Amino acid sequence: MKLISSHDKHGLMILIGIFVILIAGLFGLEAKVRHDLKNPFEYHLHVQEDLAEKPEDPESMGDGSISSLDEFSYVVDISKHWQNDPDTPLMTYGAQYDNSIYNGSDYDIVNWSVVIEVPERNITIDSSWNGTWEYDKQASRIMFTPDERIETIRSQESATYGAIMISRELMEFSDVSFSGCKYRPITRYLLFWLIIILLVAWVTSAIAFFRYLIREENHRRYTERLNNVISQTMSTFANFIDTKDRYTKGHSARVSYYSQKIAEKLGMNEEQVRDIGYIGLMHDCGKLAIPGTILNKPGKLSDDEFEVMRNHTTEGDRVLKDFTAIDGIRDGALYHHERYDGGGYMKGLKGEEIPLVARIICVADALDAMNSDRCYRDHLSRDVILKELEQNKGTQFDPQIAQIMIDMIENGEVFVGDGPSED
Ligand SMILES: [Fe+2]
């Protein structure tokens, strides 16, 4: 964006900063989900003694064992059992072991398995459901791996599975290891939805901000164009004035320039300085009403001619009567030949009765007159100009403004005499 203001840059940086924080939060959350998935936990679930007791009637239902640690509950229930070949020394038991794991945590459990320590004995897995049972005789353990139906134990839900096993004795599942990975979809985190809400708010704010920037840019371009139109119209009009007075070519533009320099030194703001420039351009517009024979007369004017010439101030005031957009533009034209000591024309105002813009233009006008060649003399030297300004402080010129001009000439900000600013 062209010429984006520092204020707008600040807003843009804040928007970018918030976006980075939100996206970082989202990635951080995603990383936590992945971390949970890659870091399996293992719980040792010990069957509670009182619940592990078998009922008197071996055929009865509900023979259950429950263990829980933290958020998980484990239940194994020998729902039925029977004796095989009771009259032989190789008598075995057949039993149906119904298992259930309840997930009371806020996570889903995935990639899980159960390892059950069993006494050393011959065990045959007759049949199973919802997963695979593997008996490792060497290690005296049975490992259960779920199939796809229960591979995920959702939060607050149970997974059930079981097997029918043949063994020498009925087994108690007394030492159970439950391992798996915690998984909570990112959408189940409150933080996720908080970030999403903030991102929506961010997008809304960003759209509003960029629309504001576009509006500002359009406004800036419009204002710039308008200022150019005004400035060029003023300059064109000033050229008309200076064209009529061939001895003072470029005079209005130079008075405008010097006036702006003085205004800057007086601490005026950018808008005031710009307006002073326009006032400087228009200060002699009344000359359009003065006959060219008088304006361009070589040599000194007669008293009558000078009387006509003086009228360029009042004529300027008249020409500019409808120009109300710039404060002081009429004052500049009407009072720029007033003297600080009250000896000027047309009103004979004195000191600070003379509007500030007119006092500024008075010094700028006199400086350009001294610094320009006339048909009857060359421009004055730098020393003479400085001397004139000094001597006329408080008489012709406002002393403060004259001193500002003296300072600018002395420190090289304004070139006069044979300086490089000469036309
Ligand atoms: Fe003038």
Q: What CATH code is carried by the domain that includes residue 272?
A: 1.10.3210.10
Mean pLDDT computed over 227-249: 85
Q: Tell me, yes or no, whether 148 and 164 share the same domain.
A: yes
- pLDDT higher than threshold 60 for residue 47: no
Q: What is the pLDDT of residue 419?
A: 53
- pLDDT higher than threshold 80 for residue 2: no
Q: What is the pLDDT of residue 372?
A: 85
| Structural domain contains residue 418 | no
What b/e string do you get for 182-201 counting C-beta neighbours within 10 Å, with b at 16 or more? bbbeeeeeeebeebeebbee
- What's the gap in Å between 287 CA and the centre of ligand 1? 8
Q: What is the pLDDT of residue 59?
A: 36
| Structural domain contains residue 51 | yes
Q: Tell me, yes or no, whether 345 and 207 share the same domain.
A: no
- What's the gap in Å between 367 CA and the centre of ligand 1? 12
Please name the residue that has the structure tokens 């679930």.
45
Q: What is the pLDDT of residue 63?
A: 37
Domain end marker among 200, 228, 256: 228
- What's the gap in Å between 310 CA and the centre of ligand 1? 8
- What's the gap in Å between 307 CA and the centre of ligand 1? 13
- What's the gap in Å between 337 CA and the centre of ligand 1? 6
Q: Tell me, yes or no, whether 96 and 146 share the same domain.
A: yes
Mean pLDDT computed over 241-246: 80
Query: Are 249 and 242 in contact, with CB atoms under 8 Å apart?
Result: yes
Query: Are 46 and 174 in contact, with CB atoms under 8 Å apart?
Result: yes
Q: Tell me, yes or no, whether 176 and 289 share the same domain.
A: no
| Structural domain contains residue 197 | yes
- State which residues form the domain around 3: 1-39+189-228
- What's the gap in Å between 44 CA and the centre of ligand 1? 104
| Structural domain contains residue 310 | yes
- Tallying the residues shown for the chain, one arrives at 423
Q: Tell me, yes or no, whether 193 and 282 share the same domain.
A: no
- What's the gap in Å between 335 CA and the centre of ligand 1? 9
- What's the gap in Å between 283 CA and the centre of ligand 1? 7
Q: What is the pLDDT of residue 382?
A: 92
Q: Report which of residues 172 and 302 the model is more confident about.
A: 302
pLDDT in tens, 147-160: 999 999 999 999 99
Q: Tell me, yes or no, whether 322 and 358 share the same domain.
A: yes
Mean pLDDT computed over 346-372: 95
Q: Report which of residues 247 and 155 the model is more confident about.
A: 155
Return mean pLDDT, the chain: 87
Domain end marker among 174, 199, 228: 228
Please name the residue that has the structure tokens 């001009």.
405
| Structural domain contains residue 237 | no
The count of structural domains within the chain is 3
| Structural domain contains residue 234 | no
Q: Tell me, yes or no, whether 123 and 202 share the same domain.
A: no
- What's the gap in Å between 362 CA and the centre of ligand 1? 8
- What's the gap in Å between 51 CA and the centre of ligand 1? 115
- pLDDT higher than threshold 60 for residue 353: yes
| Structural domain contains residue 330 | yes
Q: Tell me, yes or no, whether 358 and 376 share the same domain.
A: yes
- What's the gap in Å between 77 CA and the centre of ligand 1? 115
- pLDDT higher than threshold 70 for residue 61: no
Pairing outcome for strands 41-46 and 175-183:
antiparallel
* Stretch among 150-159, 244-253, 312-321 having the lowest mean pLDDT: 244-253
- What's the gap in Å between 361 CA and the centre of ligand 1? 9
Q: What is the pLDDT of residue 411?
A: 94
- What CATH number does residue 76 fall under? 2.60.40.290
Q: Tell me, yes or no, whether 31 and 71 share the same domain.
A: no
Q: What is the pLDDT of residue 57?
A: 39
Q: Rounded to whole angstroms, how far apart are CA atoms 288 and 330? A: 15
Q: Rounded to whole angstroms, how far apart are CA atoms 24 and 160? A: 40
User: What does the block give as tokens for 272?
Assistant: 């005031």
Q: Tell me, yes or no, whether 160 and 224 share the same domain.
A: no
Q: Tell me, yes or no, whether 2 and 71 share the same domain.
A: no
- What's the gap in Å between 284 CA and the centre of ligand 1? 5
- What's the gap in Å between 230 CA and the centre of ligand 1? 22
Alpha-carbon dihedral sign for residues 343, 349, 354, 357 = negative
Q: Tell me, yes or no, whether 382 and 314 share the same domain.
A: yes
- What's the gap in Å between 104 CA and the centre of ligand 1? 96
- pLDDT higher than threshold 90 for residue 41: no
| Structural domain contains residue 319 | yes
- What's the gap in Å between 418 CA and the centre of ligand 1? 24
